[in-house]
């Protein structure tokens, strides 16, 4: 049996502008993404077996541990691509990144899964090959694979390195509120037909959803300079700290980092 442990960083969207609707149903974006030192961890083991099998376990009761999990999908597509003999794959997911929070926890885990399996199988895929699998699974995986500070475009899979800048980051999220990317983008499309005011927001998806949630309005009222990350519902503040607030998860003292997924 071979085993590896992979560190999977969260990301924040320093900016997020939606530039158009694509023929494939997705939206084109123009975003500056940044990884931060809030990590999930994957412990992955592989061993030869009579039949191929993927077993997921973990610390969170908010995610599925079956084929619905994007980590499972990443393992499946990797093995299908390689067409190797049957293997049993065990994955333990230590979740520290909130779920449905706009912090790319799932995407980072899936990118980490692809990266880790590639290491365990002695790197049959080069970086281009890994990026191809990432692009097929989701919009943020390519960035999560590389990390640091990057301008992303297309669905998020087109990357352009930007000079790294170190800064302090704090996060605040309503404990009982998660917003899916599908919900946020749908609300953007609906609101964009009738309303102005987008230019006042660094994140177009914040503009799209904030009127529907008093929990987000509360954050903006207390911290006008805070910005929502991705599709929410997490807000971040740069070089600032959030005070304890009942009903909200808060994480102060984080920092920007220059890496994406990597072996521990």
**Residues identified as active-site:** 11, 140
Cβ–Cβ under 8 Å, residues 33 and 14: yes
d(CA 43, CA 66): 16
Give the Cα separation of 248 and 172 in Å (integer): 7
Contact residues for 140 (Cβ-Cβ < 8 A; gap 6+): 11, 33, 104, 107, 108, 156, 230
Burial of 166 (0-12, 13-18, 19+ CB in 10 A): exposed
**Euclidean distance between CA atoms 90 and 215, whole angstroms:** 38
Q: Is the dihedral of CA 225, 166, 137, 113 positive or negative?
A: negative
Q: Is 119 buried (19+), middle (13-18) or exposed (0-12) by CB count in 10 A?
A: middle
């Amino acid at each position: 049996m071979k085993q590896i442990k992979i560190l999977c960083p969260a990301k924040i969207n320093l900016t997020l502008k939606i530039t158009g609707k694509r023929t494939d149903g997705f939206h084109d974006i123009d975003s500056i993404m940044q990884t931060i030192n809030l990590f999930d961890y994957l412990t992955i083991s592989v061993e030869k077996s009579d039949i191929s099998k993927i077993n997921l376990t973990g610390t969170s009761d908010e995610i599925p541990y079956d084929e619905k999990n994007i980590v499972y999908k990443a393992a499946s597509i990797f093995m299908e691509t390689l067409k190797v003999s049957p293997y049993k794959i065990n994955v333990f997911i230590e979740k520290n990144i909130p779920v449905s929070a706009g912090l790319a926890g799932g995407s980072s885990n899936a990118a980490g899964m692809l990266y880790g399996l590639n290491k365990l199988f002695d790197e049959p895929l080069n970086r281009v090959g890994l990026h191809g699998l990432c692009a097929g699974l989701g919009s943020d995986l390519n960035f999560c694979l590389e990390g640091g500070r990057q301008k992303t475009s297309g669905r998020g899979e087109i990357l352009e390195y930007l000079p790294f800048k170190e800064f302090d980051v704090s996060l605040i999220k309503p404990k009982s509120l998660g917003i899916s990317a599908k919900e946020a983008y749908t609300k953007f499309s609906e609101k964009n037909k009738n309303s102005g005011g987008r230019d006042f927001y660094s994140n177009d998806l914040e503009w799209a959803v904030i009127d529907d949630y008093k929990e987000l309005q509360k954050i903006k009222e207390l911290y006008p300079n805070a910005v929502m990350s991705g599709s929410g519902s997490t807000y971040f503040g740069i070089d600032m700290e959030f005070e304890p607030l009942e009903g909200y998860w808060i994480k102060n003292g984080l920092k920007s980092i220059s890496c994406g997924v990597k072996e521990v």
